[in-house]
Amino acid sequence: MTRRQYNSSEPRPRREYVGVHFKCCKVYVHAYLNQERTAYVAYCPKCAGKMTIEIRPDGSDSRFFEAT
């Protein structure tokens, strides 16, 4: 995967995300949309636990989730 370099005069595009509370370590993070745009993915910064939130037509409208 190649990262695009942005010029300081060029605004960076906003990344789509949802909020995730990792109850295991009591931390809040953003889960960002994956490259395929099929799921949001987040990792706990303390224990490296992974949470994947699949995007489906019958899915949730929520913008905040909890990982246990």
Q: Exposed e or buried b for every residue in 40-50, given b needs 16+ CB within 10 A?
A: bebebeeeeee
Q: What is the pLDDT of residues 24-68, one digit of tens each?
A: 999 999 999 999 999 999 999 999 999 999 999 999 999 999 998
- Is 30 inside a domain boundary? yes
How confident is the model at residue 19, as a pLDDT?
98
Number of compact structural domains in the chain: 1
* pTM of the complete model beyond 0.75: yes
How far is it, in rounded angstroms, from Cα 64 to Cα 23? 13
Q: Above 60 in pLDDT, residue 1?
A: no
In-domain check, residue 11: no
**Residue 40 maps to a domain:** yes
3 state SS of 14 = coil
What is the spatial distance between Cα 27 and Cα 67, in angstroms, rounded to a whole number? 10
Q: Rounded CA gap, 46 and 67, in Å?
A: 13
The verdict on residue 22 lying in a domain is yes
Domain with 59, as residue range(s), is 17-67
Mean pLDDT for 12-33 is 94
